[in-house]
Every structure is written in C-alpha cells, then in structure tokens.
A = this chain, B = another copy of it.
Amino acid sequence: VRPQQPTTLEYAILGLTGMSPMSGYDIHRVFETTPLAHFSSSPGAIYPALRRLAQRGLVDAKLDTRTEARPRRVFALSQKGKGALGAWLRRAVTREELIRGSGAPILRFALAEDRLTPEEVLAYLESYRRALESYLEELEEHARAMAANAGLHLRLALDQGIRGYQSELEWVKSAAARIRRAAGRRVPRGRAGA
C-alpha cells in the first residue's frame, strides 16, 4: 500500500488552491462555471478530496471566522503540496494519458503558469508532441491494416480519433511557438530582439 498518489481531481484542486486560497464551495463554483467543468463538482467529490489533501499535508486549512456563525474552511497550497504539484507538472505526457481522456495533459499545461520556467514548459510540450506523434502513427498503422474489410462506422470512428489527435498536435506546436515568443521577450536566449 504505497503513499497513494493524488488523483487528477486532487491535482486540479491543488492547482486551484495554489492560485489563491479557496473554500470547497469556491472550487465547486470553478468547476461549475468554467471550462474546467470536466471535473464535476459534486460536494461528495470535492469535500472528501480536500480532507484527504489536508491529511497528507498538501494543503493547509484555515478557519475563516469573520463574524460568521458557520465556519468557512479555506484551503491553501502548502509547501509540500507545491512540491507534489510541481513534480506532477513536470511529468512527461504518456501514451496512456492520451488514450484515457483524463484531461491530465492539458490540465498540467494550464496549471503550469508561473510554476514552471518557459524552458520546462517547452520540454513538457515536447513530450506532449512526441506522445501524440507516436500514438498517431499507431492509429494510422491500424487504419491501414483495417482498410476496406471493416465496417464503414468503424473506419469513420477511427478517423475521428485520428483527426482529434492531429488537431491536438497542431495545437501543441502553436502553443510551443507562443510560449517561445512570450519567453523571448523577457529571456532572450542567444541573441534575439534586444
């Protein structure tokens, strides 16, 4: 029974509390009203997750007692949590993460803001690109092998998968370019615009 590493939901919560301290309800609202809706958002998921994170010392709970009768528990990313989150953000994208649409790859990118250096972000995107290209090859190989004998629906479904990953790949490339440009403005590697 290993130390039990956080779930994707828990990492998402770590990332949010790391932006600014939040209550359970604040997190609920984020999952309700932003495109992070992927994670939903029931109290039965969020409050237990917060308790687990607090027990493991990844977030600090503070009781907000400003005149209110009901205690408002506000959670903030702890030093230890910062370490765990940082380590996760630096993980290379794996084939398995692509296949199970866990949303982890894009979540890591979104939460990397101000936590990773531009170089680390670019390294991460590079791993993302590699994973996509390698998996795309697999899928295209499968499409070739399948060819005409399989049913029309199966071929079309596979085509959807391929298109989706291709679009993701395009995005990775353009995002890397954007990051490089943004970084260039403040960290002119080599001899750029100065």
A residues with CB within 8 A of B: 34-35, 37-38, 40, 99-103, 106-107, 109-114, 139, 142, 151-154, 156-161, 163-164, 166-168, 170-171, 175, 178-179, 182
Contact = CB atoms under 8 A, between A and B. Distances in A.
A3 B163 CA distance: 38
**Most chain B beta-carbon neighbours within 10 Å: one of A34, A111, A167:** A167
A165 to B, nearest CB: 9
Given A163-B167, A164-B167, A168-B164, A157 B106 contact: yes
Contacts of A179: 152
A59 B62 CA distance: 53
A116 to B, nearest CB: 9
A100 B31 CA distance: 12
Of the candidates A35, A107, A114, A168, the one having the most CB atoms from chain B within 10 angstroms of its own CB is: A35
A115 to B, nearest CB: 10
Contacts of A154: 110, 113
Nearest to A153: B113
Contacts of A139: 35
Contacts of A111: 153
B157 A99 contact: no
B40 A100 contact: yes
